[in-house]
Amino acid sequence: MIKIYHNNRCSKSRFGLKILENSGKEFEIIKYLENMLSAKALKDIITILKIKPIDLVRKNEVIWKENYKNKTLTDTEIINAMVENPKLIERPIIVNGNKAVIGRPPELILDII
């Protein structure tokens, strides 16, 4: 089943959700700010996305700028930062089996659904 890791306060995430709704396909909404992801779940998503953990970080977030910017962090430390501060996670993330995209721009979602 398709999953969308969603933040309703984000316009790109809302637009991504609309794309899924309009697709007519079944999907699951995961509100990752309310139901925090485990480090393992985040690692799995990063693996499917085929990116490095740092590429999933919202680097303009105040939390990142104040606590992590300009520090040398391991992948594990970056993942732990996102687990502890889920606002740092880029959104929306759409996972469909062994394919995934960050919906920025949201039209990328069409490539995997």
| Mean pLDDT (whole number) for 36-65 | 97
Average pLDDT for residues 64-85, to the nearest whole number? 97
Look at residue 101 and give its three-state secondary structure: strand
Active-site pick, 4, 10, 45, 109: 10
Unique residue bearing structure tokens 């977030």: 61
Task: Domain of residue 86: give its range.
Answer: 2-111
Average pLDDT over residues 71-81: 98
Average pLDDT, the chain: 97
Number of domains forming the structure of the chain: 1
Active site residue 10: yes
- We report the CATH number of the domain holding residue 51 as 3.40.30.10
Q: Indicate the pTM of the whole model.
A: 0.93
Strand order in the sheet with 2-5: 27-30, 2-5, 93-96, 99-102
Over range 78-96, report the average pLDDT: 97
Q: What single-letter DSSP state applies at residue 1?
A: -
Mean pLDDT of 55-82: 97
**71: pLDDT confidence band, cut at 50, 70 and 90?**
very high
Question: Which residues, in sequence order, are bridge partners of residue 5?
Answer: 30, 93
DSSP-assigned letter for residue 37? P
Segment 98-108 mean pLDDT: 95
Question: What is the CA 84 to chain-centroid distance, rounded?
Answer: 14
pLDDT for 34:
94
CB contact at 8 A, 95 and 3: yes
